[in-house]
Copies of this chain bind each other. A is one copy, B any other.
């Protein structure tokens, strides 16, 4: 069974790293608590649409890029 939360977390991490943004900076820009951002990236939480939208917007990318195929 696929672990969608984990896959999304990995997509966020790879997009973030591709832009040389620290987890802390991404959390601040997305107005998400830093430790919660860590949990999102590790796939430990069932992230909401709004949080995903804000994370994508703060990296200036489409939210679709953070959704696995």
A7 to B8, CA, bound (A): 21
Interface digits, A40-51 against B, CB 8 Å rule (1 contact, 0 not)? 000000111110
Any B CB within 8 A of the CB of A37: no
Copy count, this protein chain: 2
Q: Which of A17-25, A27-35, A61-69 forms part of the interface with chain B?
A: A61-69
The interface residues of chain B lying within 8 Å CB-to-CB of A53 are 4
Q: How far is the CA of A48 from the CA of B48 in the complex (A)?
A: 4
Is the CB of A52 closer than 8 A to any CB of chain B?
yes
Residues of B within 8 Å of A5, CB to CB, are 49-50
Chain B residue with Cβ nearest A5: B49
Provide the bound-state CA to CA distance between A48 and B20, in Å.
27
